[in-house]
Amino acid sequence: MACELRSQPATEPRSQPATEPRSQPATELRFRPVTEADWPLIWPIFEQVVRAADTYAYDPDTDFEAGRALWLAGPPDRTWLVTGERDAVLGSYNTGPNRAGPGGHVATASYLVAEASRGRGVGRAMVLHSLEQARAGGYRGLQFNAVAASNVYAIKLYHDLGFQTVGAVPGGFRHPEQGFVDLLVMYYDLTAE
């Protein structure tokens, strides 16, 4: 899974759920588990991010139902909705085991930040929340399997929070403007704290 903390704005804005004005810092963030009824609120963010094809390795033509199946995977995965004032949807993230069986002690997570909420600390808050959830769930670490090297803001955030880049797939991501860029594997050790 990858993170959506974009290195560049989308060229074509899509319909968005209500968001708070971008000029204000995100305050009073509320996190709650997602229900199926929340998917229509998340879909515009998911659609815009996936169609841009510059951060996620999902098919840009993913439709509403396929997107729902990807994002709301169900137990043991958990998906969270992040809202601000007036219940404006600021983002969503999902987390769960990176792999089943012998790899089930390491978590993974993916994040979506509404375009109008980027640069306001929402992504940072979601990563920190996901680390808390992973720790509370007994995971030994949190791993990102596919962070596009072109996603410089996400990579900087992850490094600032203590993630290590532990590997790279050369040319593993086809960026629509930059061509083939590396896919990074990043890891946060929850046992070191």
Residue range 93-144, pLDDT digits in tens: 999 999 989 999 999 999 999 998 999 999 999 999 999 999 999 999 999 9
Distances (CA, A) of 49 to 3, 84, 108, 115, 145: 10, 20, 19, 9, 18
Task: Give me the residue spans of the domains in the chain.
Answer: 3-189
β-strand pairing of 164-175 with 3-4: unpaired
Contacts of 73 (CB under 8 A, 6+ apart): 79, 94, 96
Find the mean pLDDT for residues 3-13: 37
Contacts of 101 (CB under 8 A, 6+ apart): none
Residue range 134-193, pLDDT digits in tens: 999 999 999 999 999 999 999 999 999 999 999 999 999 999 999 999 999 999 999 986
Residue range 16-51, pLDDT digits in tens: 334 334 444 556 899 999 999 999 999 999 999 999
- Residue 34, helix vs strand vs coil: coil
Closest to 15 in 3D by CA, of 89, 66, 86, 121: 89
Residue burial 36-46, b: 16+ Cβ < 10 Å; e: rest = eebbebbbbbb
Residue 14: count other Cβ atoms within 10 Å of its Cβ: 15
Residue 82 pLDDT greater than 50, yes or no: yes
Reported CATH class of domain 3-189: alpha beta
